[in-house]
Amino acid sequence: MPYLLAFGASLLPLFPYLVWAYWRRGVNRTRPRPDKLLSGPGDLQRQHIAELDWSIAVAAIWLVAIPVAAIGVFLAPKLVGVASVDRLEQITAAGLALLLLLFPLFSLIGKCRERAARRLRLEAQLTAGREINLLLREGFHVFHDVPAGSDNVDHVVVGLSGVFAVESLGRPVPNLGRGIIDAKVIYDGENLFFPPNNARDSEASKQSRRQAIAMERRLSDVLGRSVQVRPALALPGWFVEKKRPDDLILLYGQANHYARILRGTTVLSPELVGEIVGYLDALCRGVDPGESIAEAAGVTNPG
Protein backbone atom coordinates (compact mmCIF):
# COMPACT_ATOMS: atom_id res chain seq x y z
CA MET A 1 0.00 0.00 0.00
CA PRO A 2 2.74 2.59 0.74
CA TYR A 3 4.06 2.23 -2.82
CA LEU A 4 0.61 2.74 -4.34
CA LEU A 5 -0.06 5.75 -2.12
CA ALA A 6 3.34 7.25 -2.93
CA PHE A 7 2.77 6.69 -6.65
CA GLY A 8 -0.61 8.42 -6.51
CA ALA A 9 0.74 11.27 -4.39
CA SER A 10 3.60 11.87 -6.83
CA LEU A 11 1.07 12.58 -9.60
CA LEU A 12 -1.07 14.97 -7.55
CA PRO A 13 0.97 18.13 -8.35
CA LEU A 14 -0.01 17.75 -12.01
CA PHE A 15 -3.71 18.25 -11.39
CA PRO A 16 -3.62 21.93 -10.28
CA TYR A 17 -1.49 22.77 -13.32
CA LEU A 18 -3.85 20.95 -15.71
CA VAL A 19 -6.90 22.63 -14.16
CA TRP A 20 -5.25 26.05 -14.48
CA ALA A 21 -4.15 25.38 -18.07
CA TYR A 22 -7.65 24.17 -18.99
CA TRP A 23 -9.16 27.31 -17.50
CA ARG A 24 -6.73 29.53 -19.39
CA ARG A 25 -7.53 27.66 -22.60
CA GLY A 26 -11.26 28.30 -22.02
CA VAL A 27 -10.63 32.01 -21.49
CA ASN A 28 -8.67 32.28 -24.73
CA ARG A 29 -11.19 30.21 -26.66
CA THR A 30 -14.18 32.34 -25.63
CA ARG A 31 -12.50 35.65 -26.36
CA PRO A 32 -14.77 37.53 -28.82
CA ARG A 33 -13.56 38.16 -32.35
CA PRO A 34 -12.74 41.90 -32.68
CA ASP A 35 -14.98 44.05 -34.89
CA LYS A 36 -16.95 41.00 -36.04
CA LEU A 37 -14.53 40.20 -38.86
CA LEU A 38 -15.52 37.81 -41.62
CA SER A 39 -14.53 34.20 -41.13
CA GLY A 40 -11.74 33.01 -43.39
CA PRO A 41 -10.92 29.70 -45.07
CA GLY A 42 -10.31 26.94 -42.56
CA ASP A 43 -11.17 28.91 -39.41
CA LEU A 44 -13.14 26.00 -37.95
CA GLN A 45 -10.38 23.54 -38.79
CA ARG A 46 -7.87 25.78 -37.03
CA GLN A 47 -10.03 25.68 -33.91
CA HIS A 48 -10.26 21.90 -34.06
CA ILE A 49 -6.49 21.63 -34.53
CA ALA A 50 -5.91 23.92 -31.54
CA GLU A 51 -8.17 21.66 -29.44
CA LEU A 52 -6.23 18.63 -30.63
CA ASP A 53 -2.91 20.31 -29.82
CA TRP A 54 -4.14 20.76 -26.26
CA SER A 55 -5.21 17.11 -25.99
CA ILE A 56 -1.90 15.94 -27.48
CA ALA A 57 0.05 18.08 -25.00
CA VAL A 58 -1.90 16.69 -22.05
CA ALA A 59 -1.37 13.11 -23.24
CA ALA A 60 2.36 13.78 -23.68
CA ILE A 61 2.58 15.21 -20.16
CA TRP A 62 1.00 12.06 -18.72
CA LEU A 63 3.28 9.83 -20.79
CA VAL A 64 6.28 11.54 -19.21
CA ALA A 65 4.88 12.04 -15.72
CA ILE A 66 3.70 8.47 -15.06
CA PRO A 67 7.07 6.74 -15.73
CA VAL A 68 8.96 9.45 -13.84
CA ALA A 69 6.63 9.06 -10.86
CA ALA A 70 6.93 5.25 -10.96
CA ILE A 71 10.73 5.35 -11.15
CA GLY A 72 10.84 7.82 -8.28
CA VAL A 73 8.66 5.61 -6.11
CA PHE A 74 10.81 2.55 -6.80
CA LEU A 75 14.07 4.38 -6.09
CA ALA A 76 12.81 6.07 -2.91
CA PRO A 77 13.47 3.09 -0.55
CA LYS A 78 17.09 2.89 -1.69
CA LEU A 79 17.60 6.62 -1.31
CA VAL A 80 16.31 6.63 2.27
CA GLY A 81 18.12 3.40 3.15
CA VAL A 82 15.12 1.07 3.62
CA ALA A 83 16.41 -2.49 3.71
CA SER A 84 13.27 -4.50 3.04
CA VAL A 85 10.82 -3.86 0.25
CA ASP A 86 7.55 -5.53 -0.62
CA ARG A 87 8.16 -7.05 -4.07
CA LEU A 88 4.50 -7.87 -4.59
CA GLU A 89 3.52 -4.30 -3.93
CA GLN A 90 6.27 -3.09 -6.26
CA ILE A 91 5.00 -5.38 -9.03
CA THR A 92 1.44 -4.16 -8.40
CA ALA A 93 2.54 -0.53 -8.61
CA ALA A 94 4.49 -1.24 -11.81
CA GLY A 95 1.46 -2.95 -13.35
CA LEU A 96 -0.72 -0.01 -12.39
CA ALA A 97 1.74 2.40 -13.98
CA LEU A 98 1.79 0.40 -17.21
CA LEU A 99 -2.00 0.25 -17.24
CA LEU A 100 -2.26 4.00 -16.70
CA LEU A 101 0.18 4.56 -19.56
CA LEU A 102 -2.18 2.87 -22.02
CA PHE A 103 -4.80 5.63 -21.74
CA PRO A 104 -2.59 8.60 -22.75
CA LEU A 105 -0.75 6.41 -25.28
CA PHE A 106 -3.88 5.43 -27.21
CA SER A 107 -5.23 8.97 -26.83
CA LEU A 108 -2.00 10.39 -28.25
CA ILE A 109 -2.05 8.04 -31.24
CA GLY A 110 -5.70 8.77 -32.02
CA LYS A 111 -5.35 12.53 -31.63
CA CYS A 112 -2.23 12.64 -33.80
CA ARG A 113 -4.03 10.76 -36.57
CA GLU A 114 -7.03 13.07 -36.34
CA ARG A 115 -4.77 16.12 -36.37
CA ALA A 116 -3.01 14.90 -39.52
CA ALA A 117 -6.38 14.41 -41.25
CA ARG A 118 -7.62 17.85 -40.18
CA ARG A 119 -4.35 19.44 -41.21
CA LEU A 120 -4.73 17.96 -44.69
CA ARG A 121 -8.30 19.26 -44.88
CA LEU A 122 -7.15 22.68 -43.71
CA GLU A 123 -4.52 22.82 -46.45
CA ALA A 124 -7.20 21.88 -49.01
CA GLN A 125 -9.53 24.62 -47.72
CA LEU A 126 -6.76 27.22 -47.84
CA THR A 127 -5.66 26.19 -51.33
CA ALA A 128 -9.19 26.11 -52.71
CA GLY A 129 -10.02 29.32 -50.85
CA ARG A 130 -7.22 31.23 -52.56
CA GLU A 131 -8.55 30.25 -55.98
CA ILE A 132 -12.17 30.89 -54.99
CA ASN A 133 -11.27 34.38 -53.73
CA LEU A 134 -10.21 35.25 -57.28
CA LEU A 135 -13.83 34.81 -58.33
CA LEU A 136 -14.45 38.23 -56.77
CA ARG A 137 -13.01 39.84 -59.89
CA GLU A 138 -15.56 37.86 -61.93
CA GLY A 139 -18.46 39.47 -60.07
CA PHE A 140 -19.12 36.69 -57.57
CA HIS A 141 -19.47 37.10 -53.80
CA VAL A 142 -17.38 34.70 -51.73
CA PHE A 143 -17.77 33.51 -48.13
CA HIS A 144 -15.77 30.96 -46.15
CA ASP A 145 -16.58 28.67 -43.22
CA VAL A 146 -20.30 29.41 -43.38
CA PRO A 147 -22.39 27.85 -40.56
CA ALA A 148 -25.01 25.42 -41.88
CA GLY A 149 -26.68 22.90 -39.62
CA SER A 150 -24.25 21.03 -37.38
CA ASP A 151 -21.21 21.83 -39.51
CA ASN A 152 -19.75 24.60 -41.65
CA VAL A 153 -19.77 24.82 -45.43
CA ASP A 154 -16.17 25.34 -46.52
CA HIS A 155 -17.01 28.02 -49.11
CA VAL A 156 -20.17 29.62 -50.49
CA VAL A 157 -20.12 31.43 -53.84
CA VAL A 158 -23.02 33.70 -54.81
CA GLY A 159 -23.67 35.29 -58.18
CA LEU A 160 -26.42 35.93 -60.69
CA SER A 161 -25.87 32.37 -61.90
CA GLY A 162 -26.82 30.94 -58.51
CA VAL A 163 -25.61 29.95 -55.05
CA PHE A 164 -22.92 27.27 -54.78
CA ALA A 165 -21.92 25.39 -51.62
CA VAL A 166 -18.32 24.29 -52.13
CA GLU A 167 -16.68 21.57 -50.07
CA SER A 168 -12.89 21.04 -50.24
CA LEU A 169 -11.38 17.57 -50.43
CA GLY A 170 -7.85 17.16 -49.10
CA ARG A 171 -6.00 14.13 -50.37
CA PRO A 172 -2.25 13.77 -51.05
CA VAL A 173 -1.30 13.40 -54.71
CA PRO A 174 1.04 10.45 -55.39
CA ASN A 175 4.26 11.06 -57.29
CA LEU A 176 5.07 7.98 -59.34
CA GLY A 177 6.69 9.83 -62.22
CA ARG A 178 3.72 9.39 -64.57
CA GLY A 179 2.86 13.07 -64.91
CA ILE A 180 -0.82 14.01 -65.06
CA ILE A 181 -1.89 10.38 -64.61
CA ASP A 182 -0.70 10.50 -60.99
CA ALA A 183 -3.06 13.43 -60.34
CA LYS A 184 -6.09 12.21 -62.28
CA VAL A 185 -9.22 11.24 -60.35
CA ILE A 186 -12.25 9.58 -61.96
CA TYR A 187 -15.81 10.40 -60.90
CA ASP A 188 -18.64 8.03 -61.87
CA GLY A 189 -21.54 10.07 -60.55
CA GLU A 190 -21.27 8.74 -57.00
CA ASN A 191 -17.69 7.67 -56.25
CA LEU A 192 -14.29 9.24 -56.71
CA PHE A 193 -11.47 6.87 -57.69
CA PHE A 194 -7.95 8.01 -56.82
CA PRO A 195 -4.63 6.70 -58.15
CA PRO A 196 -2.54 4.67 -57.93
CA ASN A 197 -4.86 1.83 -56.85
CA ASN A 198 -8.27 3.33 -57.67
CA ALA A 199 -9.00 3.98 -53.99
CA ARG A 200 -12.71 4.76 -53.76
CA ASP A 201 -14.20 7.72 -51.90
CA SER A 202 -18.00 7.81 -51.79
CA GLU A 203 -18.34 10.16 -48.81
CA ALA A 204 -17.07 13.37 -50.42
CA SER A 205 -19.91 13.64 -52.95
CA LYS A 206 -22.50 12.82 -50.27
CA GLN A 207 -21.05 15.42 -47.92
CA SER A 208 -21.16 18.06 -50.66
CA ARG A 209 -24.83 17.37 -51.31
CA ARG A 210 -25.69 17.34 -47.59
CA GLN A 211 -24.04 20.71 -47.07
CA ALA A 212 -25.81 22.19 -50.10
CA ILE A 213 -29.17 20.97 -48.78
CA ALA A 214 -28.46 22.38 -45.31
CA MET A 215 -27.50 25.77 -46.77
CA GLU A 216 -30.52 25.75 -49.09
CA ARG A 217 -32.88 25.15 -46.18
CA ARG A 218 -31.27 27.86 -44.10
CA LEU A 219 -31.42 30.48 -46.84
CA SER A 220 -34.97 29.56 -47.83
CA ASP A 221 -36.20 29.74 -44.22
CA VAL A 222 -34.53 33.09 -43.53
CA LEU A 223 -35.43 34.80 -46.80
CA GLY A 224 -38.95 33.39 -46.96
CA ARG A 225 -38.60 32.13 -50.53
CA SER A 226 -37.12 29.14 -52.28
CA VAL A 227 -33.38 29.49 -52.93
CA GLN A 228 -31.62 26.68 -54.75
CA VAL A 229 -28.08 25.90 -53.61
CA ARG A 230 -25.99 23.74 -55.93
CA PRO A 231 -23.38 21.35 -54.51
CA ALA A 232 -19.76 21.68 -55.60
CA LEU A 233 -16.59 19.85 -54.66
CA ALA A 234 -13.15 21.43 -54.95
CA LEU A 235 -10.20 19.08 -55.45
CA PRO A 236 -7.04 21.22 -55.24
CA GLY A 237 -4.06 19.57 -56.87
CA TRP A 238 -6.13 17.09 -58.88
CA PHE A 239 -7.50 16.76 -62.40
CA VAL A 240 -10.94 15.19 -62.77
CA GLU A 241 -12.47 12.96 -65.43
CA LYS A 242 -16.25 12.92 -65.05
CA LYS A 243 -17.71 9.72 -66.46
CA ARG A 244 -21.37 10.58 -65.98
CA PRO A 245 -23.05 14.02 -65.73
CA ASP A 246 -24.96 14.79 -62.56
CA ASP A 247 -25.77 17.68 -60.24
CA LEU A 248 -22.37 17.77 -58.49
CA ILE A 249 -20.02 20.48 -59.76
CA LEU A 250 -16.34 19.51 -59.65
CA LEU A 251 -13.83 22.34 -59.31
CA TYR A 252 -10.14 21.78 -60.00
CA GLY A 253 -7.25 23.62 -61.57
CA GLN A 254 -7.10 27.41 -61.31
CA ALA A 255 -9.62 30.17 -60.70
CA ASN A 256 -10.30 30.76 -64.40
CA HIS A 257 -11.57 27.17 -64.59
CA TYR A 258 -13.73 27.75 -61.52
CA ALA A 259 -15.23 30.87 -63.11
CA ARG A 260 -15.86 29.11 -66.41
CA ILE A 261 -17.83 26.37 -64.65
CA LEU A 262 -19.79 28.61 -62.28
CA ARG A 263 -20.76 31.19 -64.88
CA GLY A 264 -24.08 30.46 -66.56
CA THR A 265 -27.54 31.72 -67.23
CA THR A 266 -28.97 34.25 -64.79
CA VAL A 267 -31.21 32.53 -62.23
CA LEU A 268 -31.16 35.13 -59.44
CA SER A 269 -32.24 38.74 -59.52
CA PRO A 270 -29.79 41.40 -58.30
CA GLU A 271 -32.19 42.11 -55.44
CA LEU A 272 -32.21 38.49 -54.28
CA VAL A 273 -28.43 38.29 -54.62
CA GLY A 274 -28.22 41.33 -52.36
CA GLU A 275 -30.42 39.71 -49.71
CA ILE A 276 -28.44 36.47 -49.80
CA VAL A 277 -25.12 38.30 -49.62
CA GLY A 278 -26.36 40.44 -46.74
CA TYR A 279 -27.45 37.42 -44.74
CA LEU A 280 -24.27 35.43 -45.40
CA ASP A 281 -22.13 38.44 -44.54
CA ALA A 282 -23.91 38.77 -41.19
CA LEU A 283 -23.73 35.03 -40.57
CA CYS A 284 -19.99 34.87 -41.23
CA ARG A 285 -19.37 37.79 -38.87
CA GLY A 286 -21.16 36.06 -35.99
CA VAL A 287 -23.99 38.59 -35.98
CA ASP A 288 -27.27 37.56 -34.34
CA PRO A 289 -29.39 36.03 -37.13
CA GLY A 290 -32.42 37.69 -35.55
CA GLU A 291 -31.16 41.09 -36.64
CA SER A 292 -32.31 42.39 -39.97
CA ILE A 293 -29.99 41.66 -42.87
CA ALA A 294 -29.55 45.30 -43.76
CA GLU A 295 -28.72 46.32 -40.18
CA ALA A 296 -26.42 43.35 -39.54
CA ALA A 297 -24.32 43.49 -42.69
CA GLY A 298 -24.86 46.93 -44.15
CA VAL A 299 -24.79 45.44 -47.66
CA THR A 300 -26.70 47.10 -50.46
CA ASN A 301 -28.07 45.29 -53.46
CA PRO A 302 -25.62 45.12 -56.35
CA GLY A 303 -26.49 47.13 -59.39
Domain ranges of the chain: 2-129, 134-297
> 299 near 274, Cβ under 8 Å?
yes
* Tens digit of each residue's pLDDT (9 = 90 or more) over 84-118: 556 676 677 677 778 888 888 999 999 999 999 99
The letter for the amino acid at 153 is V
Separation CA 225–CA 175 (nearest Å): 48
Integer angstrom CA distances of residue 66 from 97, 171, 299? 6, 37, 57
Q: What is the pLDDT of residue 146?
A: 92
Which secondary-structure segment (H or E) carries 234? strand 229-234
Question: What mean pLDDT is predicted for residues 177-185?
Answer: 81
Is residue 268 pLDDT above 90, yes or no?
A: yes
Q: How far is residue 210 CA from its own chain's centroid?
A: 16
List the one residue out of 37, 49, 39, 38 whose CA is nearest residue 170.
Answer: 49
Q: Per DSSP, what are the bridge partners of residue 167?
A: 233
